[in-house]
Chains A and B, each alone.
Chain A
């Protein structure tokens, strides 16, 4: 009988520890509303410090509700044992988002990207960096990587080390070569570039735009962009000498 009661007490104690533990995690990320220029915004706080600001509604949720949603998702992920090391940028149903493992944390939307003068990927990178920094500062968090380890991180590196001359293929003309381009970027990325895809656009009758996308495949059915590379010279390539 005594043994039985000891087991019950033990189980209860473990349950209490689990509940307290969950509450401790739950307290890590919080959200609050604020008003800026008459507009409702939401702030996501980690350890009582602002990590993200949500300035617009999306998916039917006003900005403060979105901030609460982000905080809830963070707490749930942290409760499942996630750390800053599990944070990553990926696509979720076609949208660029920050995830903790496979769990969605926040979707990078057009409004915030434009407000920050960047792309959705650029915004996701900024939000990812903020969240990583906030979670790294938590007591007991895994230490930040050393300089050599961070150099090997999968984040996009725009530092230039390699150059390559590749053909420019027109997307509108189904892959017809329309010139040559020299691409620059990190050596490992430049090596992947097989061609530059050219997308032609018109804007307000006054602007003709040629968009250059360094790609890893000569097939343009789908553009396989090589990130971190860009064009720095374009021109015509004479293939036959007369």
Chain B
């Protein structure tokens, strides 16, 4: 009888551990989606200014419009950071996010950053032309 109770308890603890682990993963993703999105929204202006000021100090100011937007990982389906984009003012206005995709180029393994006009791009993001990435921003959530 006692052994049966222990078994039930063990199974219950195991199930609880599994669900906690699963919840933790979901919670991490949720934090990334909500947290990074919120942080980028809140700090986009000061981040943009800091980058532009640094470029100015280094006599490397960019001739074009700039903006900070979140980076969306197409593979993982979550926000993974932020990017400062640069380019033609009209095109920069259209950009809502940057889609991150992995590409192989000979011996090089590159992370490509595609400026897109939607906040959560699909598997085949449509690029906003004449805009590129000027800075990548890692965010600790």
Are B52 and A119 in touch, CB under 8 angstroms? yes
Q: Which of B9-17, B18-26, B107-115 is the contact stretch? A: B107-115
B136 interfacial contact with A, CB 8 Å: yes
Judge whether A225 and B62 touch: CB under 8 Å.
yes
Contacts of A239 in B (CB 8 A): 107
Give Cα A171–Cα B55 distance, bound, in whole angstroms. Answer: 12
- Residue numbers in B under 8 Å from A184 (CB-CB): 132
Question: How far does the alpha carbon of A235 sit from the alpha carbon of B136 in the complex, in Å?
Answer: 12
How many chain B residues touch A (CB < 8 A): the figure is 51
Across the interface, which residues of B come within 8 angstroms of A185, CB to CB? 132
Q: Convert B12-49 into 0s and 1s, putting 1 for each residue whose CB lies closer than 8 angstroms to a CB of A.
A: 00000000000000000000000000010001011101
A238 beta carbon closer than 8 Å to chain B: yes
Question: Number of residues in A with C-beta < 8 Å to the partner?
Answer: 55
In the complex, how many angstroms separate the beta carbon of B110 from the nearest chain A beta carbon?
4
Structural contact, A231 and B132, CB atoms closer than 8 A:
yes
Within 8 Å by CB of B43, from A117, A207, A229, lies A207
Interface string of A170-185 (1 = CB under 8 A from B): 0100000000101111
Whether the Cβ atoms of B51 and A201 lie closer than 8 Å is yes
Whether, in the assembled complex, A209 has its beta carbon less than 8 Å from a beta carbon of chain B, the answer is yes
Given contacts A227-B63, A232-B114, contact A211 B135 (CB under 8 A): yes
The distance in angstroms between the C-alpha atoms of A118 and B68, with both chains bound, is 11
Interface membership of A102, Cβ < 8 A: no
Interface contact B132-A232, CB-CB below 8 Å: yes
- Which residues of A lie under 8 Å from residue B114 when comparing CB positions? 232
- The segment out of A29-37, A51-59, A155-163 that lies at the interface is A155-163
Taking a contact as CB atoms under 8 Å apart, the answer to whether B140 and A223 are in contact is no
* Of B43, B103, B130, B134, the contact of A211 (CB 8 Å cutoff): B134
Q: Indicate whether A122 reaches chain B with its CB closer than 8 angstroms.
A: yes
Contact check: which of B52, B66, B107, B131 meets A241 at CB < 8 Å? B107
Which of B55, B62, B103, B138 has the largest count of A CB atoms less than 10 A from its CB?
B62
